Amino acid sequence: MADHSTMDSIETDILVLGAGGAGLCAALHAADRSPNLSVTVVVKGLLGRAGCTRMVQGGYNAVLTPPDSIDAHFTDTLQGGGWINDQDLAWTLVTQAPGRVLELEARYGCFFDRHPDGRIHQKPFAGQSHDRTIHKGDLTGIEIMSRLSEQVWRRPSVHALEEHRAVELLRDDSGRVAGALVLDVRRGTLVAVSSRATLLAMGGGPTMYRVIACSADKAADGIALGFRAGLRARDMEMVQFHPTGLIVPNSLMTGTLLEEGLRGAGGRLINGRGERFMERYDPKRMERSTRDLVARASFTEVVEGRGTPHGGVWIDVSHLGAEVVERSFRGMVKRCRDFGYDLAREPVEVGPTTHFMMGGVAIDSGCRTDLEGLFAAGEDAGGVHGANRLGGNGVAESTVFGGIAGDAMAEWVVGRYRPRMPRLTAEAAARRVLAPLERREGESLYALQSRLREVMWEHVGLIRTGAGLKTALAEIEEIGRRAEGAAVPGGAAYNLAWQDWLNLQNQATVAWLIARSALERAESRGSHHRRDFPEPSADLFNVYVGFADGAAPKVWTEPVRLNRLRPEAARPAPAVEVGD
């Protein structure tokens, strides 16, 4: 066996796991609130370069000027979310987003696009009653992540551990979170990081599906770690599928987003028989229908045998004129050209792609979780978006709640002792993590990974049934069991197969949470569609999975707390959906 006595150890006041918009805002807020505290940021890739915040093209929702209003943003967010959002979290999002945008510009140096008179430009976006989406061309995420990273490097109290991944949370004898076991991917060694407060900001990541749009470095690690440590996960069945992922046969690039601006501008979706099939699903709004409905319609065309040669549908914008398309959608024209497609002049094959997780660990509006000393923010946390996220609300969520978590942790540690590092627990976790390196023979990791992706796509994807979900649960459990026995060839340093093994453990855990919650939700709402229960139920409820008091996971529902706005008091939903 490997020698665990060589495990390194680090002490820090605040431990931030993940470095997207949520992790970096948390680190900056904690450092600025109390410069005497040490802050350690652990990131699986390179700081500022990993995760989904960097991939944000479309923009950032925040209310800046009338006639838009906080109430309108709040109502849009709840309507988009099918009324199962946590209303306190949604309210926190909409009330704090304007301040965070100003902070991103004035304090951290971001610069968003402007009108000629100097006002920040805001564009129309997904299901919103006003032009609300702030952007930097179609590279908004790069602007935000570049400026936040520069700021982090300038804070002497913040220390970044790049190419390190969190593998397990560690709790002391009293149950308080005492830090995390972290793997140095380059060296292949383990580090026990002891902290007084810890943040989950690993960005969820539905990478257990066959076709994905999100950053492939993510494996829902934060949700899996939190759940294993004892947190409740909420509304995990709510996984968002985007209708227009590029299809590139035999390439990992399949699933890459073509943004919804194409449909908004008049793009047409055509099936393999040349029919404009949205006429059958939503004749009034056609391709401008909601993201979930268009994605499901395309999926149905394919499974019913009316797909394109590579199992998708066509998106056609050529009738808009080549010059208009090249000018308005420069990034997408270039991306398509990289794969030999001429978006401006011919139809391009697209299909639904797995985009975002609305579910996650349960938090309150101060980012506190159920475990003492543990906080969560961004896509790891559930509740803000309910059953469907509006385009532009994702990066707002990560930066708003990241900042809140940073402030909350800096305050929380004051006067609190450092928990004792549970050495034996850390060593047991280390043994589990190192086990596949010791095996010469075992299950094929990649066969299991690919089986999981197929099962999720087929049975826990855009259209679900009770029978399919039960089949999926049995398969996921089997995959999880067999993955435990998989072998990983090679040594510990920079062993990518070992990283995939660690990813698979967490993907299987979270796949189970999604499938189990989907089985519990016997209705269709937002991104969750059950063929056996095609209508929304009269009751509004949230689905939770947690350990409650026992060793086996328990699933239960709770009525939604409509403590700020009731559906019957809201104005009608805006008709057109365009955005990321």
Ligand X SMILES: Cc1cc2nc3c(=O)[nH]c(=O)nc-3n(C[C@H](O)[C@H](O)[C@H](O)COP(=O)(O)OP(=O)(O)OC[C@H]3O[C@@H](n4cnc5c(N)ncnc54)[C@H](O)[C@@H]3O)c2cc1C
The contact set with ligand X (CB under 6 A) reads 17-23, 42-45, 50-53, 55-59, 165-166, 201-203, 213-215, 217-218, 221, 257, 355-356, 378-379, 391-396, 398, 580
For residue 219, which of 183, 259, 172, 189 has the smallest C-alpha distance? 183
Minimal distance in Å, beta carbon 580 to ligand X?
Answer: 3
Separation CA 354–CA 39 (nearest Å):
33
Nearer to ligand X by Cβ, of 52 and 410: the residue is 52
Minimal distance in Å, beta carbon 448 to ligand X?
Answer: 19
The answer to whether the CB of 427 falls within 8 A of the CB of 4 is: yes
Nearer to ligand X by Cβ, of 352 and 468: the residue is 352
Minimal distance in Å, beta carbon 151 to ligand X?
Answer: 15
197-200 and 14-17: which strand pairing?
Answer: parallel
Place of tokens 């009738």: 319
Is 355 an annotated catalytic residue?
A: no
Nearer to ligand X by Cβ, of 257 and 433: the residue is 257
Q: How many CB atoms sit inside 10 A of residue 334's CB?
A: 11
For residue 90, which of 382, 370, 524 has the smallest C-alpha distance? 382
Place of tokens 């702030």: 134
DSSP secondary structure letters along 19-69: -SHHHHHHHHHHHHH-TTS-EEEEESS-TTTSSSGGG--S-EE---STT--
Nearer to ligand X by Cβ, of 82 and 392: the residue is 392
The CA-based dihedral angle spanning residues 122, 128, 130, 132, taken in that order and rounded to the nearest 10 degrees? -20
189-194 and 8-11: which strand pairing?
Answer: parallel
Nearer to ligand X by Cβ, of 33 and 49: the residue is 49
Minimal distance in Å, beta carbon 100 to ligand X?
Answer: 12
Of all residues in this chain, which one has the CB nearest to ligand X in the complex?
Answer: 20
Out of 73, 164, 234, 263, the active site residue is: 263
Separation CA 343–CA 450 (nearest Å):
31
Question: Which amino acid, residue 75?
Answer: T
Nearer to ligand X by Cβ, of 262 and 469: the residue is 262
Is 459 an annotated catalytic residue?
A: no
Give the DSSP letter of residue 212.
B
Out of 242, 389, 516, 528, the active site residue is: 242
Q: Is 578 helix (H, G, I), strand (E, B) or coil?
A: coil
Minimal distance in Å, beta carbon 42 to ligand X?
Answer: 5
Minimal distance in Å, beta carbon 149 to ligand X?
Answer: 10
Separation CA 195–CA 325 (nearest Å):
51
Find all residues with CB under 8 Å of 425, minimum gap 6, and list them: 170, 171
Minimal distance in Å, beta carbon 377 to ligand X?
Answer: 7
- The set of catalytic residues is 242, 263
